[in-house]
Amino acid sequence: MKKSQIINYLKLIDEELTDAYHLTDTDGTVDANSYVSSAQELVGELMDNLQGKFDTISDKDEHDFNEAMNGELMGPDGLPLNFPYHINDGEGRLKGKN
């Protein structure tokens, strides 16, 4: 079976789930609607994955991810986000101690 055929089946399943969701509107079917909605979201996510929507990652996103995983987060000024500020950080001017 080709990927395009699988995607067509998933689209049909998604349409059927939409019909089933809108068919029931009584209080006893609230749980059923929740399950149908969850199944519909999973089908949509699977379709996106099959179509390659999430296969590519930009260089910046990959760099940011690697920084986050290695604990090397940097601020926009190039300093680590946990930079230890010291007494010469300019606060003296703000407090009036020139």
The answer to whether 43 touches 10, Cβ cutoff 8 Å, is yes
Which is higher by pLDDT, 98 or 12?
Answer: 12
The pLDDT of residue 9 = 86
* Average pLDDT estimate for 10-35: 77
7 has a pLDDT exceeding 80: yes
37 has a pLDDT exceeding 60: yes
Dihedral over Cα of 64, 67, 71, 72: its sign: negative
38 has a pLDDT exceeding 70: yes
Note the pLDDT tens digit of each residue in 72-91.
666 667 666 665 555 555 55
